[in-house]
Amino acid sequence: MNIQKLLFLFSLSFCFIFCSFQTDKPAQSPSNSKAIGTKTPIDSNKIELYSIVGVGDMMLGTNYPNESYLPANGGRDLLQDVLPILQDADVTFGNLEGTLLNEGGNVKRCSNPSLCYAFRSPENYINHFTEAGFDVVSIANNHTGDFGAEGRSTTKRILDESGIAYAGLAGTDETTIFERNGIKYGFCAFAPNTGTVDIRNISRAKQIVERLEAQSDIVIVSFHGGAEGEKNQNVTRKTEMYYGENRGNVYDFAHAVIDAGADIVFGHGPHVTRAMELYNNRLIMYSLGNFCTYGRFNLRGPAGIAPIVNVTVDKYGGFVHGKITPIYQGKTHGPKVDVQARATKKLIELTKTDFPETRLLIEEDGWILKK
């Protein structure tokens, strides 16, 4: 056998081994199985991946009861430290607490003012959200009605004009579908509060998700639910009460909407970080905590740390991997990357405690992988 033929056979063998290694290298092969759904399994050799960033509660300052609760420099500095992280995704989501309204509106009445706040951010603060790359927000929470019909209608108008999608109001804005890079994203949002799509009506939630699933490539569900505060960081898998209010069973809700066709579930409301879970190869984040909540929010202890979660999915919503960026807030500044990684450590701890059966592996550097 001549030397040229030997070199050819050697190179062919090397290519076969190397190419096989490259094909098999991903530790997490996308899976598209759902209890309910009609999406076609993909060819694992032609995987298209998409990234969705989720953050928790957002309220960038309020001019009510007076302007002393507004940040310096018109709020332009609040998100600067995390802009590259928020912008580095196909879709970026957050929960919009309160209204975008310069003045006026009918402020809500509170039976207990010490437990009740009303948020009215200047209308031009929408520029901070668009600069950060937000594509969609939830308006299903206990502050969306802080300034009555005028507050809701003005907030929706400003979001429409900015190109940011939204959902969460019962009867009017229950769902939205928007397109990014040729992919149709369906979005819906739920809460236990008056005027919002009710998280406690799980059968209705499943119907809403099923309709979205039939019209969309990837379905994102948001919920504002669960009891609040440091003592309520664990997912109980039961109906949660807080100051006499039924805040829903977030565990049953999240599983039900995934069974109905949801691909990602982003939770918020407890104002602290909660565990995450992989269910039917779909990611559930039970609480993303306080992301950027200036001036009127308690940021002590666990309330001052939170994750930014970047979820990578395939074209049909199957979880591939994720990445946590831990952040912290202070009284005079917005979210900053936390070199102590406190939110990541808390997620590791809570997920091991609350969902020991989950197939998720959260690493100390923030990577979220499948076991």
| Per-residue pLDDT at 113 | 60
| CA distances (Å), origin 139, targets 61, 257, 278 | 17, 18, 25
pLDDT, average across residues 253-269 = 98
Task: Answer whether residue 211 shows pLDDT above 60.
Answer: yes
Q: Give the chain's mean pLDDT.
A: 89
Domain assignment of residue 363, yes or no: yes
Percent of the chain with pLDDT over 90: 84
Least Cα distance to 188 among 162, 206, 161 occurs for: 206
Percent of the chain with pLDDT over 70: 86
| Per-residue pLDDT at 327 | 98
Task: Answer whether residue 329 shows pLDDT above 90.
Answer: yes
| Per-residue pLDDT at 304 | 98
Domain assignment of residue 211, yes or no: yes
Domain assignment of residue 30, yes or no: no
Query: How many Cα atoms sit within 13 Å of 224 on the Cβ side?
Result: 31
Least Cα distance to 350 among 293, 291, 300, 285 occurs for: 285
| Per-residue pLDDT at 110 | 77
47 vs 297, higher pLDDT: 297
Residue 331 pLDDT grade (very low, low, confident, very high; cuts 50, 70, 90): confident
Least Cα distance to 218 among 264, 181, 257 occurs for: 264
Which of the residue ranges 103-112, 316-325, 326-335 would you say has the lowest mean pLDDT? 103-112
Count the domains in the chain. 1
Residues β-bridged to residue 219: 186
Cis status of the peptide bond prior to 113, with omega within 30 of 0: no
Task: Answer whether residue 120 shows pLDDT above 50.
Answer: yes
Least Cα distance to 286 among 308, 265, 301, 271 occurs for: 265
Domain assignment of residue 246, yes or no: yes
Residue 125 pLDDT grade (very low, low, confident, very high; cuts 50, 70, 90): very high
pLDDT, average across residues 150-163 = 98
Which of the residue ranges 9-18, 84-93, 200-209, 355-364 would you say has the lowest mean pLDDT? 9-18
| CATH code for the domain in which residue 322 is found | 3.60.21.10
Which of the residue ranges 29-43, 179-193, 336-350 would you say has the lowest mean pLDDT? 29-43
Side chain identity at 341, as an amino acid letter? A
| Per-residue pLDDT at 29 | 41
Task: Answer whether residue 273 shows pLDDT above 70.
Answer: yes
Which of the residue ranges 19-33, 57-71, 146-160, 174-188 would you say has the lowest mean pLDDT? 19-33
Q: In angstroms, how far is the first alpha carbon of the chain from the final one?
A: 48
Residue 109 pLDDT grade (very low, low, confident, very high; cuts 50, 70, 90): confident
| Per-residue pLDDT at 116 | 75
Domain assignment of residue 18, yes or no: no
Which of the residue ranges 98-112, 197-211, 232-246, 261-275 would you say has the lowest mean pLDDT? 98-112
- What pTM value is reported for the model? 0.88
Residue 251 pLDDT grade (very low, low, confident, very high; cuts 50, 70, 90): very high
Residues 264, 317 contacting (CB under 8 angstroms): yes
Domain assignment of residue 38, yes or no: no
| Per-residue pLDDT at 46 | 60
Please state, in angstroms and rounded to a whole number, the distance separating the CA atoms of residues 80 and 8. Answer: 55
Task: Answer whether residue 207 shows pLDDT above 80.
Answer: yes
Query: How many Cα atoms sit within 13 Å of 348 on the Cβ side?
Result: 17
Residues 169, 155 contacting (CB under 8 angstroms): no
pLDDT tens profile 50-99 = 999 999 999 999 999 899 999 999 999 999 999 999 999 999 999 999 99
pLDDT, average across residues 203-225 = 98
Domain assignment of residue 5, yes or no: no
Residues in the chain: 371
Domain assignment of residue 305, yes or no: yes
Residue 96, domain extent: 47-370
Task: Answer whether residue 39 shows pLDDT above 60.
Answer: no
| Per-residue pLDDT at 102 | 98
Residues 120, 164 contacting (CB under 8 angstroms): no
